[in-house]
Amino acid sequence: MNNLNDIQKKLEPILPSGCVITKAEFEGPDVAIYLKNIEAFYSDPNLIKKIAGALRKRVLVRSDPSCLSPPDEALKKIQEIVPQEAGITDVKFSPEFCEVIIDSLKPGLVIGKGGSTLKSIILQTGWAPKILRTPTMPSDTIKGIRSSLFKEADFRKKFLIGLGKKISTQGTKSDWVKLTALGGFKEVGRTCLLLQTSNDKILLDCGVNAETSEPTRAYPYLNAMNLALDELDAVILTHAHLDHSGFVPYLIAYGYDGPIYCTPPTRDLMVMLQFDYINVLQKNGMTAPYAEKDVRKMLNMCIAREYNEVTDITPEIKLTFHNAGHILGSSMIHLHIGDGLHNLVFTGDIKYGFTRLFDQAITSFPRIETLFIESTYGGRNDIMPQRQDAENRLNELIHQTIQNKGKVFIPVFSVGRSQEIMLVMEEYAQNQGSSFECPIYIDGMILEASAIHTSYPEYLRQSVQRRVLSNKSPFESKIFESVKNNRKDIVEGDPCVVLAPSGMLSGGPAVDYFKMMAEDPKNLILFVGYQSALSLGRKIQNGMKEIPVLGDKGTLETVKVNMAVDTVDGFSGHSDRHQLINFIRNLRPNPERIFTLHGDEGKCDDLARTINKMMRIESRSPLNLDAIRLK
């Protein structure tokens, strides 16, 4: 099935009489069908399922361009059809895809019961509606991404059609599967895996180690493979953190022109973090490995997929994302290779335990022969406290410091830990009522990341989702104050709590606050997330009292650490040792072999040995540059 005639033959017995296909084309992994007399198509509510079943693809149904109403007339119709309470914030017409893009504060009202409003829009205007949720907080990132995707519609159309031809062209069957470790093995940072079959080459994640500027330690071992980037068939991303996605624009800068698969929130957060990465490096007098134009081009090559959506990414490989529970949109990657040749799961970063933000990672898959699992907290002593105990201790440390007229500085990742800590502190403030004792300042990219969370409430726990949908987003609580004035004024002012990225003090506003607050013994720096072996955060955590940091004039200066230093475990978006083992125990089906990665050397080794001993599953901890024959 690789042309219009093949598709028409498949669909002729299914389509009602009078419903004429004028064009059908492969649009990336999907099939787009253009019809005349679309009314006849919608006369059967189950027709789309029948077509998808016949073609075994996701099907996009559109009116033939000749049937589209002029945009000004269509806009008037849409305004009549959609109730005003839907809060439409923008309407754009994309003739390249015969789509009308509708941004709305309440997408459910634009969709209507059982899709009735969407159906009215397409029947009365011809334009296929694409509904996007407007974040409840202003977001420059969301605004910029949606504007760019709209402006580059012509590029994306050509890109998707070219990709569709590749995916739909059958070749010889593969008879082997191999995986090569290119980064993130026996270390944290620059995660990158190369999956190869007889026919395909696919990268799983492509990150940087933002804690060092040494190229040999900061970037994946792409050169070691002697692999031309135009030979890559796809890049698949588990989530947006830079150690998993931060090197992707480099691939674009040096010639990769294929698809990048991720969830919609991962795409948006990744763009935000990559722009910020460039800015931080430039402010510190360093050269970024890519430019902003490469990030923009990367965006237009992203193909967003929801959880549990099966997607053909090559003629032989099917991809499905599953909830990983780590950050917004984070995924485990399931790959079905060949006709039952091999099934692989790569967890990325997972949380198999309670968080206030997300449901925990899923453990049920169709098939698994091989599992690659993170080991950040895989060591024998990596046991986190009970969550309630951790929250009580956090609140008590804050209370004590404020009572002593000090300030609490919490370095956090702008995506993930910051939102989790905001939820904890918001509940603490509610419980305290009018006696809540101090302002909580939010700096850096935290507010922007929180705004993106409000655009994807369906990815959040139901309790948080309900609040966002009812315009009571916890991220917009009155207790949080965005930093608008000079940071020095906050540091020299009244007792307060400051949340600022980066979580490991590798750059950003966190370093500024540390330098200004470190010498006052009344202040407290409180770590709530992982600190890598090379990070400034780990040095402070380990008790160093004199820390060399880059000064405002680009020279090294020494900061004396007189402030209190403490760590509250239990808030991590990573699973601790017990959770990792329970995750593996509850996997269905059981994998035949397990490989550990994304952890310090001892932790990866220890987790692999434990799995082997406890569960009698072949397990080991590869090194970077190891090649593993899977089939």
Q: For residue 350, give every residue at least 6 positions away whose Cβ sits within 8 Å of its Cβ, in sequence order, or none.
A: 324, 325, 326, 330, 332, 361, 373, 374, 574, 575, 583
Helix, coil or strand: residue 483: coil
Do 423 and 474 form a contact (C-beta atoms < 8 A)?
yes
Where is the binding site, in residues?
239, 241, 243-244, 326, 349, 598
Do 140 and 1 form a contact (C-beta atoms < 8 A)?
no
Do 594 and 619 form a contact (C-beta atoms < 8 A)?
yes
Nearest C-alpha neighbor of 464 from the set 495, 422, 498 = 422
Q: Where are the beta strands (DSSP E) in 80-212?
A: 88-94, 99-104, 128-133, 177-183, 192-197, 201-206
Q: Half-sphere exposure of residue 462, counting CA atoms within 13 Å on the CB side?
A: 0
Sign of CA dihedral 372, 376, 382, 383: negative
Amino acid symbol at 553: K
Q: Where are the beta strands (DSSP E) in 413-523?
A: 440-442, 480-482, 497-500
Q: CA–CA separation, 221 vs 416, rounded Å?
A: 27
Distances (CA, A) of 585 to 288, 303, 362, 590: 42, 33, 12, 8
Alpha carbon of residue 271 to chain centroid: 10
Sign of CA dihedral 242, 244, 245, 246: positive
Helices (H), 301-416: 387-403
Q: Is the peptide bond before 589 cis (omega within 30 degrees of 0)?
A: yes
Q: CA–CA separation, 243 vs 237, rounded Å?
A: 11
Do 573 and 351 form a contact (C-beta atoms < 8 A)?
yes
Nearest C-alpha neighbor of 361 from the set 346, 342, 377 = 346
Where is the binding site for Zn(2+), in residues?
239, 241, 243-244, 326, 349, 598
Q: CA–CA separation, 277 vs 246, rounded Å?
A: 8
**Neighbour-count burial of 299, counting CB atoms closer than 10 A to its CB (0-12 exposed, 13-18 middle, 19+ buried):** buried
